[in-house]
Amino acid sequence: MKRFHRQGKIILAAVLGLALLPGPVWGQSLKTVQVPEPPTLSSFVRDKAAAIQLGKALFWDMQVGSDGVTACASCHFHAGADSRTRAQLNPDTLGGDATFQAGGRNTNLGRSKFPFVKFVNPDDPSAGVLRDWNDVVSSQGVRLTLFTDIVPGNAVDAGVSQRDPVFRFQRRVEPRNTPTMINAVFNFANFWDGRANNVFNGANPFGAMDTDAAGNPNKRIVKNVAGVLTPVLIRIRNASLASQATGPPLSDFEMSWRGRTWPKVGKKMLSLAPLAQQVVHPQDSVLGLLANSTLVNGVPSNVPGINTTYEALIKKAFFGSYWGNTTQIVTFNAEGLPTVLPHPGRPLTTDEYTQMEANFSLFFGLAVQLYEATLIADDTPFDRFQDGFPNSLTPEQVFGMQIFDFAQCSVCHAGAEMTAASVANLLLNPNPPPPGQINVPDPTKNPLNAIEQMPFTVGEGLYDVDFVHISVVRQSNDPGRGGTAPFINPRTAAEYPLSWSVLGQLKRDGLLPPSVAAFTPNLPVGFQANFTRPFPDRAVNSGAMKVPQLRNIDLTGPYFHNGGAATLMQVVDFYTRGGNFRFGNFPDITEAMDGDVPAEVAPVGFLIGNTAAQRALVAFLQALTDPRVKEEQAPFDHPQLFVPQGIDPVTRIEVINEIPPVGAGGRIPAGLLPLQPFLNVNQFSP
Q: In sequence order, what DSSP letters do the residues of 343-377 get, joined into one string?
A: --SS---TT-B-HHHHTHHHHHHHHHHHHHTT---
pLDDT tens digit sequence for 310-352: 999 999 999 999 999 999 999 999 999 999 999 999 999 999 9
pLDDT tens digit sequence for 549-571: 999 999 999 999 999 999 999 99
Asked whether residue 528 is assigned to any structural domain, the reply reads no
Q: Nearest 5 degrees, angle CA 420-CA 572-CA 192? A: 40
Asked whether residue 182 is assigned to any structural domain, the reply reads yes
pLDDT for residue 408? 86
CA nearest to 603, candidates 401, 408, 404, 402 = 408
Place 22 in a pLDDT band, splitting at 50, 70 and 90: very low
Return d(Cα 375, Cα 179) in angstroms, integer.
14
Mention every residue, 6+ apart, whose C-beta is less than 8 A from residue 476. Answer: 95
pLDDT for residue 129? 92
Asked whether residue 116 is assigned to any structural domain, the reply reads no
Domain membership of residue 73 as a residue range: 41-83+141-372
pTM: 0.94
Asked whether residue 34 is assigned to any structural domain, the reply reads no
pLDDT for residue 14? 42
Asked whether residue 268 is assigned to any structural domain, the reply reads yes
pLDDT tens digit sequence for 258-304: 999 999 999 999 999 999 999 999 999 999 999 999 999 989 999 99
Asked whether residue 354 is assigned to any structural domain, the reply reads yes
449-452: long-range contacts (C-beta < 8 A, 24 or more apart)? 449/425, 450/188, 450/426, 450/500, 450/521, 451/500, 451/501, 451/504, 451/521, 451/522, 451/523, 451/524, 452/524, 452/527
Mention every residue, 6+ apart, whose C-beta is less than 8 A from residue 584. Answer: 471, 474, 475
Average pLDDT, the chain: 91
Q: Is the peptide bond before 479 cis (omega within 30 degrees of 0)?
A: no
Return d(Cα 424, Cα 441) in angstroms, integer.
5
pLDDT at 592 over 70: no
Rounded mean pLDDT, 219-241: 97
φ/ψ of residue 27, rounded to 5: 80, 180
Asked whether residue 48 is assigned to any structural domain, the reply reads yes
- How many domains are there within the chain? 1
Q: Which residues of 92-106 are buried (b: 16+ CB within 10 A; e: fewer)?
A: bbbbebeebebbebb
With the C-alpha atoms ordered 188, 374, 33, 466, is the resulting torsion angle positive or negative? negative
